[in-house]
Amino acid sequence: MFRSLRSDFSIIKERDPAARGVWEIIFCYPGFQALVMHRISHKLWTYKLPLFPRLISHFTRFITGVEIHPGARIGQGVFIDHGMGVVIGETSEIGDRCLLYQGVTLGGTGKESGKRHPTLEANVVVGAGAKVLVGICVGTNTRIGAGSVVVKNVGANSTGVGIPGRIVHQSGVKINPLAHSALPDTEANVLRNLMERIDQLESDILGLQDVLVNIQTNRKKKEIIIGESQNLKDKEIIEFIGDD
């Protein structure tokens, strides 16, 4: 247990530039405090003691804002940053060097028995407010974007964003766990591609109209009606997907 606590302590110093000293981490980092208390409650849980592990968990939630069920299995070097509102269910498993931000839920749905909470393999980053639900597995070196809801298995070296979570594979690319600004905007990319296709189709139609006018000399071009082109320069689209 003490080896795990040393790993939890060192990962905070590694990943948080605001951590200035030992005592500051011990007394001012609720995520670290919650993990310390969880290591104790989990040990008692493995001894099948009634009630007492849950009381420790409940007290920890009261003082830190982090709720971790005593049955959850948490590896070494885990960092719960800020931590307020984090919920980790009974059958959750968190691998080494994972990073969880505030508002994260590793939860279940319904009243199913058995493995009903997710498994995070090593070096997974779960952004603020993200929900990872049911007994799925999130592979190593994977990032879950802030506010995402993931309900399906996620392979290793991937990025999950959106509601429901859509997976963007990043295999072979080393990911900085703190680089949240590098998350892809999949909706904007899809809309951009669709609008470019529409622009191309409208240009093709205009070209065909010119050909028809030349062939049908007795018909004036103004009689051929086409809607106004809606392209990437339109104000509404720019406001939605940006102008990058």
pLDDT digits (tens, 9 = 90+) for 106-152: 998 777 778 899 999 999 999 999 999 989 999 999 889 888 899 98
Please, what is the angle between helix 30-46 and helix 52-64, to 10°? 170
Residue 170, pLDDT > 80, answer no
* The predicted structure's pLDDT at residue 233: 56
Band (214; pLDDT cuts 50, 70, 90): confident
Same domain for 101 and 220, yes or no, is no
Average pLDDT, the chain: 81
Please say which residue of 131, 151, 182 terminates a domain: 182
* The predicted structure's pLDDT at residue 20: 81
Q: How far is CA 28 from CA 14, 215, 220, in A?
A: 16, 80, 78
* The predicted structure's pLDDT at residue 232: 54
Question: Which tens digit of pLDDT belongs to each residue from 8-27?
Answer: 778 888 888 888 888 888 88
Per DSSP, the three-state class of 110 is coil
What is the CA 20 to chain-centroid distance, rounded?
Answer: 28
Please say which residue of 141, 167, 182 terminates a domain: 182
Same domain for 79 and 195, yes or no, is no
Question: Which tens digit of pLDDT belongs to each residue from 151-168?
Answer: 989 888 888 888 777 776
Same domain for 91 and 195, yes or no, is no
Residue 182, pLDDT > 80, answer no
* The predicted structure's pLDDT at residue 2: 66
Q: Which helix (H) or strand (E) holds 149?
A: strand 149-150
Please say which residue of 157, 182, 207 terminates a domain: 182
* The predicted structure's pLDDT at residue 164: 76
Domain around 199: 186-241
Same domain for 150 and 198, yes or no, is no
Q: What is the distance between the alpha carbons of residues 196 and 200, in angstroms, rounded to a whole number? A: 6
* The predicted structure's pLDDT at residue 236: 57
How many Cα neighbours within 13 Å face the side chain of 126?
Answer: 36
Same domain for 109 and 172, yes or no, is yes
Looking at per-residue pLDDT, the higher value among 173 and 69 belongs to: 69
Type of residue found at 193: N
* The predicted structure's pLDDT at residue 45: 94
Among residues 3, 37, 2, 11, which one has the least CA distance to residue 123? 11
User: Which residues contact residue 103 at a Cβ distance below 8 angstroms, ignoring those fewer than 6 apart?
Assistant: 84, 85, 86, 128, 129, 130
Cβ-count burial of 118 within 10 angstroms (0-12 exposed, 13-18 middle, 19+ buried)?
buried
* The predicted structure's pLDDT at residue 92: 94
Same domain for 148 and 218, yes or no, is no
* The predicted structure's pLDDT at residue 55: 95
CB 2 within 8 A of CB 29: no
Same domain for 208 and 126, yes or no, is no
Residue 44, pLDDT > 90, answer yes
Question: Which tens digit of pLDDT belongs to each residue from 77-103?
Answer: 899 998 899 999 999 999 999 999 999
